[in-house]
Chain A
Amino acid sequence: MRQVAAKIAQAIMLILAVIILNFFLIQIAPGDVVDALAGGPDGAGEASAEVNERLRETYGLDKPVLVQLGIYIGNVARGDLGESFIFNRPVTELIGARIWPTILLAFTALAFAILLGTFIGTVAARKPESPFSAGITVFALIGFAMPAFWTGILLLLLFSVQLDWLPVSGMNDVRLPRDAGWLERQIDTAEHLLLPAVSLGIIYLASYARLSRASMLEILESDYVRTARSKGLGERSVMFKHALRNGIIPIITVMGLQFGAVVSGAILVETVFAWPGIGRLAFDSVNRRDTNVLLGILLMLSVTVIIANLLTDLLYRVADPRIRVGGEDRG
């Protein structure tokens, strides 16, 4: 219990450090945010010095940087991430609206990668010298080497442009009638989700396939597996009931560590597929220097990674009682 409390305290300190670091990183970027607010490049607009000053005042950008930071930390502590300069809406509202599509995309991609990756890795481990197993290794290498956005573009060109099977962009067909039924909407979303999820998931699928293959190869050589086999248990039972339970531990570890990476990867994939998630919002915010939104997204990503790591720790203990017991002993 003390260990968990210590980890939570550590996480809070980490979040504070992240807020300060992000704040200063954005501050040192060249140029003035007000220029982006007053007249963007698309408008070729010419803002007057008077309008610039008023905007600076409206958004509190006229105050010293340290004062701005203090105000920001105070607001974050109250759950207020500020207003978007571009959309004139609370950052929490914007992130709240975009988080679900990203979660849907990230979880679908992860589920696709973990389930399929673990399965084919496990199967490959049964006969490590087989062509199938060698193929998994090659596939993993290719999967690692292909950036998700590039895979996405290739899939788009094939399935959307050439074959015209799947939609190009978005999360829903904008032509879908507003009174369309629930099922029709879900099918439409699934259609739109397929390519982004596969693009994002394929790199991790390769990773999990390779990881589970290596892990299972080691476990299949262990004494207790040999014992299980000698007791006459079927191969399927040995593989999936006995070996996989231990083989999955490294996968859980990697899963927790990778969650942040998946969400970050989603930024590129969401941009390629115009998926209306956090990644798109981040892309638009970077382009328009919407610093409050950017800070909010960076904070959210940091918190997500920290929470994912905490959960991984906890899940680890559930999966492997030795860790739990060891921890208690040490505590």
Chain B
Amino acid sequence: MRSRRWLKAFVLLFTVSLIAAACGDSDDGDTTAATDAPATTLEEGQTGTTSFVSTTVAESEATTTTEAEPEPEEMSTAHLLRPNNVPTEAQRGGTIVLGYAGVINHANGAVSSGYAVNTAGSQVNASLLRWSDEYQPVPYIASEWAIAADGLSVSLTLNPEARFHDGEDITCTDVDFSIKTSQANHPFKPMFAPVTGVDGGDTKNCTVNLEQPHPALLVAFSPGLLPIIPEHIFNDGQEMKTHPRNNTDVVGSGPFKIVEWETGEIIRYEANDDFFLPDLPYLDELIIDMVPDGATVTLGLETGDFDIGTGHGGQDIVDAQNNPDLSVSSKGFEAIGSIPWLQLNLRDEILSDVRVRQALWHAFDFDEWNEIQNSGQHRRQCTGIQSQSPYYNPDAHCYEFDLEAAQALLDDAGYGDGFELNFHVTPAGVTTAEIMASQWAKIGVEVIIEVVPDFPAWIGRTVGEGTDYQVTYTSLWNWGDPVIGVNRSYNCNNRVAGVAFSNMSWYCNEGLDEILNAAGLEFDPELRRDLYFEATDIINADVPVIYLSNQVWYTRMATHVENPPESIWGFMDSWAEMWIAS
């Protein structure tokens, strides 16, 4: 009897499941097609410009609206990255679910770097500026900005409507507090190192004072690098890195409010109806569903449980490209500039010889590695500055795959008979290590792969003065400007024992340091670019690292997703302009 009851219960449950599954995808949305809003002149003005021009909105409008008085609706789109893809009134609303593989533990990007924190944080927090696809600043909390002629201050006019979710106005006090919080807690010290303070108090006209010119400052005002956090909430004497309001009862000023945060499971946002930018956000609800791994994200996208997720190449991307219900974009995330590379330890006797390092690069077969590791979906990269950056040198010297040249260099260095090389990797890097072992074996280099279980263990083996690693696999992110994310890997004074992602090669070239420092102070985009080109040549001659690729960040999404986060900051930008096509 009992077994029959169980059987009945199972059948009932199964039937209910079937019904629920059948009903799950119903869509009551309007089926009206999207209507393109008129393109704004601002976007036209920005097209083709690839330098970090310091300007004001007023100036940029002046250059783009010379023939006619701007229409009111044109004026209202200055804050949009996608002004020509705006939903109709009927198309607004709905819910987007992001499948995220991992854990997001808080939403305060002022105290820590990272894609996870800043993806979540940029929806609840706003920043001073956003950035267009052409690397141009776009108004956000700051509606106007101007850099002083001497480069020692930046004036900001905050949006008069800008306020936090609790109704408090955003003022210069909050800007000052946010920058100071970043200075004290954020790992990217160069971002605000030259900032001495922010004047303006409880007004909306601020002056950011600098001890030296700092061209990277406007990039540092991006979402994901400097969220403006409420001073009246956080300035209570508690430790900022562990402040409870980083993930509980979060008050920001972004397009969404967090209404539910189940630790390690989901973050649910609702539209901020009082958002200071007009008509945004387009969605009613945004959900980040945290799952343990990328495979679950892939399954969720295939079954429609998730609307959007990222990917870094490989079979998942190929499958998504072949799935008619999904679309794949390789646009966006350019400012992150993720570059996987092989880190060489220059303190090692063998690797201290530049000819050996050059030989190892010559023996790297990018095509084979890319095919095996990434299903052919990465791009070749020959510098530490990502290829969409205004400072990227497309003609940088690259060591072509040439085993004869490699062997000749080894012969010249006295290692013609080969040698052993240890290669420390986390499980994520094992495939690369195995490919390199196979490739370098062709020039007599025997690679001994040593797998460490996780990130802290890897740090323990590869960072610091006493480490005995020879080669390791890692990935460095540019973070928008070379001053923030690139210099750290090469500066002599950043050879810091025990600190992750410092100058782990222990490489030092004082001439290079001078060039990098000069570039960090140079406002003229042409001169700055020339300096980085020169720096690139020096680094590539010295080969402290072997660049593997320009890692492409793919966005996988349901075909109904419009305006996916494809800006230079990708998912770490505001999702306010995303909408759902019926």
Contact = CB atoms under 8 A, between A and B. Distances in A.
Interface of A: 29-33, 35-36, 38-49, 51-52, 54-55, 58, 83, 86-89, 94, 97, 115-116, 119, 156, 160-161, 164-170, 173-175, 178, 187-188, 190-191, 194, 271, 274, 276, 280-281, 283-284, 286-289
A25 to B, nearest CB: 13
Contacts of A289: 454-456
A280 B292 contact: yes
Interface stretch (B16-24, B169-177, B389-397, B436-444): B16-24
Contacts of A41: 426, 428, 455
A160 B241 CA distance: 40
B457 A29 contact: yes
A190 B499 contact: no
Given A88-B247, A169-B296, A169-B305, A45 B264 contact: no
B455 A44 contact: no
A159 B476 CA distance: 40
A288 B3 contact: no
A116 B498 CA distance: 56
Listed residue (A36, A43, A49, A191) with the most chain B CB atoms within 10 angstroms of its CB: A43
B499 A47 contact: yes
A52 B305 contact: no
Nearest to A30: B457
B264 A44 contact: no
Contacts of A30: 452-453, 456-457, 460-461
B246 interface: yes
Given A165-B17, A194-B17, 7 more contacts: A39-B501, A40-B116, A55-B241, A116-B6, A166-B17, A167-B305, A169-B291
B268 A174 contact: yes
Contacts of B456: 30-33, 35-36, 289
Interface in B137-185: 185
A136 to B, nearest CB: 15
Nearest to A168: B299
A187 B20 contact: yes
A161 B302 contact: yes
A88 B106 contact: yes
Nearest to B456: A31
Given A49-B498, A175-B95, A188-B20, A58 B187 contact: no
Contacts of A281: 264
Contacts of B18: 165
B289 interface: yes
A48 B111 CA distance: 12
Contacts of B105: 86-88
B338 interface: yes
**Size category of the binding interface on chain B:** 35 or more
B483 to A, nearest CB: 13
B90 to A, nearest CB: 20
A47 B6 CA distance: 56
B16 A191 contact: yes
B31 interface: no
Given A39-B187, A86-B103, A191-B16, A58 B455 contact: no
9 closest Cβ pairs, A-B complex = A43-B114, A31-B456, A31-B457, A46-B501, A45-B113, A30-B457, A31-B460, A274-B291, A35-B459
Given A58-B241, A88-B242, A187 B16 contact: yes
A94 B247 CA distance: 14
Given A44-B338, A289-B454, A51 B185 contact: yes
Interface string B470-483: 00000111000000
Contacts of B103: 86, 284, 287-288
B267 to A, nearest CB: 10
B8 interface: no
A107 B476 CA distance: 46
A45 B460 contact: no
A31 B455 contact: yes
Contact of A170 (B113, B289, B498): B289
B303 A160 contact: yes
Contact of A35 (B266, B455, B475): B455
B385 interface: no
Contacts of A39: 112-114, 187, 500-501
Given A49-B496, A271-B292, A44 B3 contact: no
B169 to A, nearest CB: 28
Contacts of A48: 187, 189, 499
B264 A46 contact: no
B57 interface: no
A83 to B, nearest CB: 8
B502 interface: yes
A174 B266 contact: yes
Given A32-B456, A165-B21, A94 B263 contact: yes
A45 B17 contact: no
27 contacts: A30-B452, A31-B458, A31-B459, A32-B460, A35-B459, A36-B455, A40-B114, A41-B428, A43-B114, A43-B115, A43-B116, A45-B188, A55-B241, A58-B242, A87-B105, A88-B247, A119-B3, A161-B299, A166-B21, A168-B296, A174-B266, A190-B17, A191-B16, A194-B14, A284-B103, A286-B454, A287-B103
A35 B500 contact: yes
A47 B187 contact: yes
B89 interface: no
Contacts of B6: 115-116
Contacts of B188: 45-46
B577 to A, nearest CB: 22
A42 B115 contact: yes
Contacts of A54: 239, 241
B418 interface: no
Contacts of B488: 46
Contacts of A36: 454-456
B460 A276 contact: no
Contacts of A284: 103, 264, 292
A164 B303 contact: yes
Contact of A44 (B263, B458, B475): B475
B406 to A, nearest CB: 29
